[in-house]
Amino acid sequence: MKKFAIEMRSFWQAWLLVVLFLIVLAGSYAQSQSIGSPAPSSTISALNIDTTYLSPPLQFDFYATSCPEAPAIVSTMVMNATSYDFTVAPQLLRMFFHDCIVQGCDASLLLNSTLLYTNSPLYAEKDFQKNDRFDKFSFVDLIKQELESVCPGVVSCADILAMAAVSAIAATQGPEYQIELGRRDGLSSYQDNAQTHLPGFYLNVSGLLDSFNNAGLDIVDLVALSGAHTIGQGHCDSIQDRLQSPPIYPIYPSYFLNQMKTVCQTPDGTFDNNVVAIDMDVNSTFIFDNGYYKGLIAGVGLFTSDQFLYTDPRTMPLVELFAQNQELFFQQFGVSLRKMGKINVLTGTQGQIRQNCWVRNSNTADVDFLPRI
Ligand code: HEM
Ligand SMILES: *[C@@H]1O[C@H](CO)[C@@H](O)[C@H](O)[C@H]1NC(C)=O
Ligand SMILES: *[C@@H]1O[C@H](CO)[C@@H](O)[C@H](O)[C@H]1NC(C)=O
Ligand SMILES: *[C@@H]1O[C@H](CO)[C@@H](O)[C@H](O)[C@H]1NC(C)=O
Ligand SMILES: *[C@@H]1O[C@H](CO)[C@@H](O)[C@H](O)[C@H]1NC(C)=O
């Protein structure tokens, strides 16, 4: 009977693997169909020809001749910084997500708010509330300075975020991923774009999928990339909805609920919404592993959005699969991260290589300001 149960389990595992493989295959087929294929000539009319498909694709060895040291420089700096301050790595990984999901991987996250035209303040993504936890912008500037001194004007801020993200994973004992490079920096950053596109911690799978699908990411990407929550910390304001009554999704194990209350409620019962940092992967929050999924199964996922992944029948099997098979999680995470890294990238002659990551180059005319997406 026990043997049968085990065989049944491996049968389901094998089956899930097949399904997962097919989904990934279908995804890459759809992508190969939509990217790079010119519009049929009959639809090209007048002068309104869409040439975006002519932009060169990203490449793994993009800097091989122009700045071969770039990936190693980023990696060394991220390793070193993380060894002094363990919050560096998770922040860098999260920054890459927050850059890519809003308007594409164009370093729009790094631009400072500015005065557009005469007096009207233009608030950038950086000043949106969901980005106000980031305090490593100056470290990104440091990387940029170093790269500018070695190969001036060559490495984009958007690529720095990509290289820093994979370095952050390696710095927390995860796999050493390769990621394609050649992104260029965008010219605009709008706070309301961040508001529209950054997913909320209170969302269920349908809400999360709206956000991910909108960026060309699918349900497998959603479950795999959420695994980034295996490193880093949240704060009390991100679990407000779990401690309110009724919660959107209750914290089930009572010890975990009590722990959260102890951490996030002051003795007089008011809510401490800022100060305290809470580990997102209870057993190994600074190691990039599959502990996040084990946590979801144990009911100790930190956010409502995390825990919903183990409730919704569409995502639950994937959570189980990644909890059981770390190697598979590592593989899928790499694929999904690279896919995320290709969202709306600027390449070739699009955009620019910023000299400073927080501001557009001084010779950029206001007319270049891209329209909102
Ligand atoms: C699925 C939708 C997602 C939601 C709703 C979400 C939400 C959040 C929230 C609320 C925090 C904590 C902020 C705080 O309280 O300080 C957080 C942290 C984090 N997120 Fe996500 N996230 C999502 C997806 C992702 C993805 C796709 C990645 C990267 C690939 C990512 C990487 C991280 C990391 C590494 C941290 C820890 C940051 C730190 O320690 O400072 N998240 N996320
Ligand atoms: C390593 O990081 C520390 C702390 O931020 C810094 O003082 C030091 O200069 C860094 N070393 C290198 C080689 O980057
Ligand atoms: C840009 O914003 C960062 C914080 O994100 C700040 O430290 C820096 O001083 C700002 N730079 C300029 C030139 O305003
Ligand atoms: C997800 O949340 C939305 C908005 O709160 C709700 O309308 C919807 O029914 C929920 N979907 C599922 C599958 O729970
Ligand atoms: C954390 O580690 C303890 C002790 O090894 C184990 O009993 C528990 O199941 C782990 N929790 C999770 C969520 O993996």
User: What distance in angstroms lies between residue 295's CA and the mean position of ligand 5's atoms?
Assistant: 8
Give, using CA atoms, the residue closest to atom 39 of ligand 1: 232
C-alpha count within 13 angstroms, C-beta hemisphere, residue 342 = 21
* pLDDT tens, per residue, the chain with 373 residues: 344 444 445 555 555 555 555 555 454 444 444 333 333 444 444 565 555 566 889 999 999 999 999 999 999 999 999 999 999 999 999 999 999 999 999 999 999 887 654 456 678 999 899 998 999 999 999 999 999 999 999 999 999 999 999 999 999 999 999 999 999 999 989 998 999 999 999 999 999 999 999 999 999 999 999 999 999 999 998 998 998 889 999 999 999 999 999 889 877 767 766 667 899 999 999 999 999 999 999 999 999 999 999 999 999 999 999 999 999 999 999 999 999 999 999 999 999 999 999 999 987 755 444 444 3
Q: Which atom of ligand 5 is nearest to the CA of 298?
A: 13
Q: What is the pLDDT of residue 39?
A: 39
Task: Identify the CA nearest to 169 among candidates 67, 89, 82.
Answer: 89
The residue whose C-alpha atom lies closest to atom 32 belonging to ligand 1 is 94
Atom of ligand 3 nearest to the CA of 356: 13
Q: How many CA atoms lie within 13 A of 73 on its CB side?
A: 20
Checking phi first, is residue 279 left (phi over 0); if not, alpha (psi -120 to 50) or beta?
A: beta
| Ligand closest to CA 229 | 1
State residue 53's pLDDT score: 60
The pLDDT value given to residue 370: 45
- Which H or E run contains 116? strand 114-116
Ligand 4 mean position, distance from CA 167 (Å): 36
Return d(Cα 337, Cα 317) in angstroms, integer.
Answer: 20
Q: Which ligand is nearest to the CA of 78?
A: 2
- DSSP-assigned letter for residue 244: S
Question: Which residues line ligand 2 at a C-beta cut-off of 6 Å?
Answer: 77, 80-81, 84
Please give the C-alpha separations between residue 289 and each of 20, 98, 302, 310, 333, in angstroms, as whole numbers.
Answer: 20, 21, 16, 18, 11
- Give the Å distance between the CA of 283 and the centre of ligand 5: 6
Name the closest ligand to CA 311: 4
C-beta of residue 233 within 8 angstroms of C-beta of residue 87: yes
Residue with token string 């774009």: 193
Closest-lying ligand 3 atom to the alpha carbon of residue 134: 5
Phi, psi of 243, rounded to the nearest 5 degrees: -100, -5
Q: Whose CA is nearest to atom 13 of ligand 3?
A: 358
Per-residue model confidence (pLDDT) at position 17: 52
For residue 98, indicate whether it is catalytic: yes
Q: Which atom of ligand 4 is nearest to the CA of 308?
A: 14
Kindly report the backbone phi and psi dihedral angles of residue 112, in degrees, each rounded to the nearest multiple of 5, phi listed first.
-80, 155
Q: 222 CA distance to ligand 1 centroid (A)?
A: 12
Judge whether 135 and 151 are in contact, CB under 8 Å. Answer: no
238's tokens: 């991100």
Residues with CB under 6 A from ligand 1: 87, 90-91, 93-94, 97, 133, 199-201, 208, 225-226, 228-229, 231-235, 238, 303, 305
C-beta 298 within 6 A of ligand 5: yes
* CATH topology (fold) of 221-336: Peroxidase; domain 2 (1.10.420)
Strand partners, 356: 359
The residue extents of the domains of the chain are 221-336
Q: Which residue in 55, 96, 52, 18 sits closest to 333, CA to CA? A: 96
CB 265 within 8 A of CB 252: no
Q: Whose CA is nearest to atom 9 of ligand 4?
A: 206
Beta carbon of 292 within 6 Å of any ligand 5 atom: no
Strands 114-116, 277-279: pairing kind? unpaired
Residue 34 sits at φ, ψ, to 5 deg, of -90, -25
